Amino acid sequence: MNNTEYKQAMQTLNLWSKHYYVLDDPITTDEVYDKLYHEVVEYEESNPNELDKNSPTQRVGDMISEGFTKEPHLSRMWSLEDIFDKEGLDKWLTKTYKLDSNISFYCEPKYDGASLNLIYENGVLVKGVTRGDGTIGELITRNVKTIKSIPLTIEHKETIEIRGEIVIFKDEFERINKRRLHEGEAVFANPRNAAAGSLRQLDSSVTAKRNLVFLPYGVGIDTLKYKYLSDKMEYIYSLGFRKPPQRAVTQGYDEIEEIYKVMNRDRDSYDMMLDGMVVKVNEIAAQIDMGYTVKVPRFSVAYKFPAVEKITTVKEIILQVGRTGAVTPVAIVEPTNIDGVVVERATLHNFDEIERKDIRLGDKVIILRSGDVIPKIIKVLTHERSGSEVKVIKPTKCPVCESELLQEVVLLKCQNLECDARVVNSIMYFASKPCLNIDGLGVKIVEALFKSGLVKSVVDLFDLDLEKLLELEGFKEKKSQNLLNSLKNAKAQDYWRFINALGIEHVGEVASKTLAENFGFSFVTATKEQIIECEGIGEEMAESVLKFVRVNAETITKLQTILEPLEPVKREEAKENPFKGKTVVLTGTMSESRGVIKEMIETLGAKVSGSISKKTDFLIYGEDAGSKYDKAEKLGVKTLTEGEMRELI
Ligand code: IVH
């Protein structure tokens, strides 16, 4: 890097951080930002005389936007030095041990959200302040008070600043985006932007609706006299704050590496997004001794996880026709390795989304792959366009059967029930795991069976025999016999699987179970009123069931005769007990699997529900109970530990 490039890099970094911190709309990935940032750091280290005061390295952190009152923190909010690999950890440890060799480390997740400072005086929450530049933030007390995991009062009378991260849980993020998509609004790029944007709303009723969660990670000014950070944090949790999903006190390199691996391995299973693990010296006296550089504490470091967001290029947009006829665009992208998996395609939801984001062929985009969800395009880097990008034209005809497409709300749909793609996909769906779970009916085989004319609908699957199969190209004896065996195994399965496999629009696994439990075989004759009475089933679903049954009565009967599904046995009436007729919610880790506990409680005549409401009678909780526990407390729902439940039984 020369001086011109240095100046250029600074401008770029400042633009990127404005988009990140002020506009909540990042235009690059953390990874790319970090790389350039480190190049700037290196340049400044070797050319200290050329250091520019506008350099992002001289800035403490987030910027402040208009709209809120500025508020100084009682003590400075620091940021963290990042490390990315074993060598980084090794270097940091060597440096830290030089300052003090007699130390241990507190490790906890690095949450990917927005930082927040809470000021409590006389046990009352008086201020909530965003991080801002680390010294002065924005006063957002009204918004903060809508967040349920932030206690409004605590059993601690001296003035204290409690610091932590505001996050949005992944399921809540999906829910918000789904609704926004449905309502034709722009979706949030990732949970972090959604959290930051929701926190800094001028209208706090918007914040309240977003189900934000606060996770404490430290304190600012305090009068606490703990020797260890781990004990101090334990005290903070005991005041009514959430615990991290994983934490550990470790001794040195190997143990830190070990817990880092565990957290990285398990990160998908946590409710919130993590972008790394924070390592902090556990001895508070040593922390004070070590102190701070201009920007960061010497006693702490952020050990980042492999990136889940990458920049790539859109090569092509292909169209997929699903079993319901919905035509969804899929982007074929330049293959990109994301945390060990080569990503080549990304979903685009629907055409409105393409138009809104103005995605063009040849565009540079940010893709996100997290957990086992399909990678998605979260951002188009329009500022990187060369002018040669090509607009995507919304199709008017089904790419498979060429029949006219109709716009149904946000979805573009092929109306032809016999469209090859619809038929093939409904057969695939019929055989999928949450339906009849028929092994060996992959897309290639289903297509071959369909093209040969042997299988035109799911019913035809059961007319297949060895002779017919052996005539097909690529079907040898073994493959054919395996398929026939799998088809045999599709028989005598639980009835809810049968209902689910029918592919009734809007009716998924949960609704299928409800229908099976409530009506058994007679679900085909249930009236709309009866169906709506079932919990979790609304008008739209009920109408869809009725319409399906009306149109497909013959097929349902035929399939039922072939498959002989098992009608659920009605439970015997339970004897009198404290749970009979009650609604129970389970949360946390228990001594046995959730399924076993659920079964046990259902036999007692209770209904086990997935979410807490005023109607819930009991919340039974195990280890690491999370938001459900908080909600139960708020609503005054009686809570029982697993042990207490067993005693009652
Ligand atoms: S400690 C004294 N711990 O990461 C050091 N920060 O990159 C202050 N963050 O601004 C930060 N999880 O918003 C700390 N467990 C954690 C964290 C955490 C997320 C955020 C925080 C901070 C940023 C620094």
Q: State which of 116, 166, 217 you would mutate to test the pocket of ligand 1, scoring each by most atoms of that ligand within 8 A of its C-beta.
A: 217
Give distance in angstroms: CA of 288 to centre of ligand 1. 18
Averaged over 621-637, what is the pLDDT? 87
pLDDT more than 70, % of the chain: 98
For 92-144, what is each residue's pLDDT tens digit? 999 999 999 999 999 999 999 999 999 999 999 999 999 998 999 999 999 99
Task: Tell me what the pLDDT averaged over the chain comes to.
Answer: 91
Question: Residue 481: CB within 6 Å of ligand 1?
Answer: no
Of the candidate CATH numbers 3.40.50.10190, 3.40.50.10090, 2.70.170.10, 3.40.190.10, the domain formed by 583-648 belongs to 3.40.50.10190
pLDDT band at 285, cuts 50/70/90?
very high
Question: Residue 165: CB within 6 Å of ligand 1?
Answer: yes
pLDDT band at 61, cuts 50/70/90?
very low
Averaged over 264-278, what is the pLDDT? 92
Of the candidate CATH numbers 1.10.645.10, 3.40.50.10800, 1.10.287.610, 3.40.50.2300, the domain formed by 3-56 belongs to 1.10.287.610
For 216-263, what is each residue's pLDDT tens digit? 999 999 999 999 999 999 999 999 999 999 999 999 999 999 999 999
Give distance in angstroms: CA of 165 to centre of ligand 1. 7
Question: 80 to each of 116, 279, 282, how far by Cα in Å?
Answer: 15, 10, 16
pLDDT band at 571, cuts 50/70/90?
low
Of the candidate CATH numbers 1.10.150.20, 1.25.40.10, 1.10.940.10, 3.40.50.2300, the domain formed by 495-563 belongs to 1.10.150.20
Kindly provide the b/e burial profile for residues 298-320, where b requires at least 16 CB atoms within 10 angstroms of the residue's own CB.
bbbbbbbbebbbbbbbbeebebe
95/100 Cα distance (integer angstroms):
9
pLDDT at residue 507 in the model: 93
Any bridge partners for residue 316, and if so which?
332
CATH topology agreement for domains 420-489 and 495-563:
yes
Averaged over 460-489, what is the pLDDT? 94
Instruction: Determine which residue's CA is closest to atom 18 belonging to ligand 1.
Output: 110
Residue 463 pLDDT more than 60? Answer: yes
Question: 266 to each of 36, 110, 247, 454, how far by Cα in Å?
Answer: 29, 13, 13, 45
Question: 98 to each of 91, 92, 278, 288, 289, how far by Cα in Å?
Answer: 11, 10, 20, 15, 12
What pTM did the predictor assign?
0.67
pLDDT at residue 17 in the model: 82
* Domain 420-489 top-level CATH class: mainly alpha
The answer to whether the beta carbons of residues 584 and 616 sit under 8 Å apart is yes
Instruction: Determine which residue's CA is closest to atom 21 belonging to ligand 1.
Output: 115
* Higher per-residue pLDDT: 341 or 546: 546
Q: State which of 112, 165, 214 you would mutate to test the pocket of ligand 1, scoring each by most atoms of that ligand within 8 A of its C-beta.
A: 165
pLDDT at residue 128 in the model: 97
- Classify domain 71-304 by CATH number: 3.30.470.30
The answer to whether the beta carbons of residues 484 and 464 sit under 8 Å apart is yes
Query: Which ligand 1 atom sits closest to the C-alpha of 82?
Result: 7
pLDDT band at 378, cuts 50/70/90?
confident
Looking up tokens 């699957």 gives: 461
Residue 575 pLDDT more than 70? Answer: yes
- Report for 170-179, 453-462, 599-608: range of highest mean pLDDT: 453-462
pLDDT at residue 95 in the model: 96
Residue 268 pLDDT more than 90? Answer: no
Give distance in angstroms: CA of 79 to centre of ligand 1. 6
Active site positions, annotated: 110
pLDDT band at 66, cuts 50/70/90?
low
Residue 481 pLDDT more than 50? Answer: yes
Domain edges within the chain: 3-56, 71-304, 309-391, 420-489, 495-563, 583-648
Residue 63 pLDDT more than 60? Answer: no
Question: 171 to each of 268, 427, 494, how far by Cα in Å?
Answer: 12, 29, 28
- Classify domain 309-391 by CATH number: 2.40.50.140
Averaged over 612-618, what is the pLDDT? 89
The answer to whether the beta carbons of residues 593 and 634 sit under 8 Å apart is no
Averaged over 286-305, what is the pLDDT? 95
